């Protein structure tokens, strides 16, 4: 498969074995959450201030904001890795800090941290991927099946890399192994922190394809990123976090319309959209709501068919 890998990815989504779409609905509701890190050095600094957010079951949304805006901190609150100072997080109406165990919750919400490849520990790739499903207490057959499916989803060949040490893979491949490690748990919701940071174009596409695929199967996807171009090409709902506060929550079209808002949140509209704006002013396209060069090209072709 080496060598053909890049080309294969273009076709690889339809080729996948269809997973049983049996994902229960999961609503996540964050209410007035505030949090500060306590440090022995200084007075506690509030990282999240009064954050409220509702994420519907099966929704795919992006959480964007500059570095230090609290994205990762918020993500860690989702499964109770951090405890809010005030406010609460409810999953299906139930406060996660009351009653049901956090461990169960962590099986339902899969977190993929930044540079997840640093968390690999298995002697072999397969050994690492099965760690999650094994912790779920599944039968060995099911564990194996899930691990193989997950590896297939991230375009890794079980026969080829399954028995190799993760340390001998490339960085992009290691990232995908880590992703497979979470996918294999088949959580209802996936939250990913900068999953494409540092990946090349092919690696990025594989990761994004996986996300789309998971979304289609009914999973809730929360994509944490500072890359506004990436998320606006992919998603509709964008939540902008700046300085620990929710600055914007809504459709991307509305976000980019309001220049003052954008500036306040420290966001530069993606290149594609800026070009689309210019093209619209020139009367070459009908709308400025274009978020990738492919969309621009489509519009241009439709508007002005190029005579051969």
Partner 1 sequence: MPLLRDMTLGQYYPGNSFLHCLDPRSKLISIVTLMTCLFISMEVDVLIAGGSLLTLGIARSGLPAGAIFRNLRPFVWLFFITFLVHALTTPGQPLFDFGMPVTREGLVSGLGYSMRLSFLILVAALFTLTTPPIELTDALDKLFSPLKRLKVPVHELVLMASLSLRFLPILVNEAGRVKNAQLSRGATLDGRLLARVKAMVPMILPLFVSAIYRAEALALAMEARSYTGGKDRSSYRELTFGRNDFLALGCSFLFLVFAIISL
Tell me which residues touch partner 1 (CB under 8 A). Answer: 40-42, 76, 79, 81, 103, 106-107, 110-111, 113, 116, 118-121, 131-132, 135-136, 167, 181-182, 185
Smallest CA-to-CA distance from 129 within 157, 95, 88 is with 157
CB 243 within 8 A of CB 73: no
- Please, which residue, 193 or 289, has the CB nearer to partner 1? 193
Q: Nearest approach, Cβ of 125 to partner 1 (angstroms)?
A: 14
Evaluate whether 175 touches 199 at the Cβ level (below 8 Å).
Answer: yes
Q: What is the DSSP string of 243-308?
A: TTEEEEEEEHHHHHH-HHHHHHHT-PPPHHHHHHHHHHHTTSSS-S---SHHHHHHHHHHHSPPP-
The CB-side HSE value for 26 (13 A sphere, CA atoms) comes to: 23
CB of 229 to partner 1, least distance (A): 27
| Cβ distance to partner 1 smaller for residue 3 or 40 | 40
Pairing of strands 94-95, 86-91: antiparallel
Select 147 or 255, whichever has its Cβ closest to partner 1: 147
Q: From the CB of 92, what's the least distance to partner 1, in Å?
A: 19
* H-helix or E-strand spanning residue 151: helix 140-153
Q: Is 161 helix (H, G, I), strand (E, B) or coil?
A: helix
Spatial neighbors of 298 by CB under 8 A, at least 6 apart, are: none
Strand-pairing partners, residue 223, are 62, 192
Residue 79 C-beta: closest distance to partner 1, Å: 6
Closest approach, Cβ 192 to partner 1, in A, equals: 11
- CA-to-CA distance for 222 and 236, rounded, in angstroms? 12
Q: By C-alpha distance, which of 248, 251, 240, 253 is closest to 290?
A: 253
Cβ-based nearer residue to partner 1, 9 or 36: 36
- CB of 181 or CB of 203, closer to partner 1: 181
Residue nearer to partner 1 on the CB measure, 126 or 185 = 185
Nearest approach, Cβ of residue 132 and partner 1 (Å): 4
Nearer to partner 1 by Cβ, of 194 and 289: the residue is 194
Distance of closest approach, residue 167 Cβ to partner 1, in angstroms? 7
């Amino acid at each position: 498969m080496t060598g053909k890998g890049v080309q294969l990815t273009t076709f690889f989504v339809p080729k996948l074995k269809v997973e049983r779409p049996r994902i229960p609905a999961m609503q996540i509701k964050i209410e007035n959450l505030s949090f500060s890190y306590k440090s022995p050095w200084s007075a506690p600094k509030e990282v999240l201030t009064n954050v409220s957010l509702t994420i519907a079951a099966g929704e795919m949304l992006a959480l964007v904001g500059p570095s230090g805006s609290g994205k990762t901190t918020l993500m860690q609150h989702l499964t109770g890795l951090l405890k809010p100072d005030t406010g609460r997080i409810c999953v299906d109406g139930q406060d996660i800090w009351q009653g049901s165990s956090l461990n169960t919750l962590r099986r339902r919400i899969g977190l993929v941290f930044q540079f997840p490849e640093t968390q690999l520990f298995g002697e072999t790739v397969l050994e690492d991927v099965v760690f999650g499903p094994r912790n779920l207490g599944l039968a060995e057959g099911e564990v194996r099946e899930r691990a193989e499916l997950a590896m297939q989803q991230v375009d890794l060949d079980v026969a080829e890399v399954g028995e190799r040490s993760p340390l001998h893979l490339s960085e992009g491949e290691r990232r995908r192994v880590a992703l497979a490690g979470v996918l294999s748990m088949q959580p209802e919701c996936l939250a990913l922190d900068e999953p494409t940071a540092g990946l090349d174009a092919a690696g990025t596409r594989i990761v994004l394809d996986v996300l789309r695929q998971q979304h289609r199967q009914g999973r809730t996807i929360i994509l944490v990123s500072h890359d506004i171009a990436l998320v606006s090409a992919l998603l509709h709902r964008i939540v902008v976090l700046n300085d620990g506060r929710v600055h914007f929550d809504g459709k991307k079209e509305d976000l980019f319309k309001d220049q003052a808002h954008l500036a306040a949140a420290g966001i530069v509209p993606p290149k594609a959209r800026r070009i689309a704006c210019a093209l619209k002013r020139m009367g070459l396209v009908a709308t400025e709501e274009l978020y990738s060069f492919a969309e621009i090209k489509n519009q241009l072709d439709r508007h002005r068919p190029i005579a051969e």
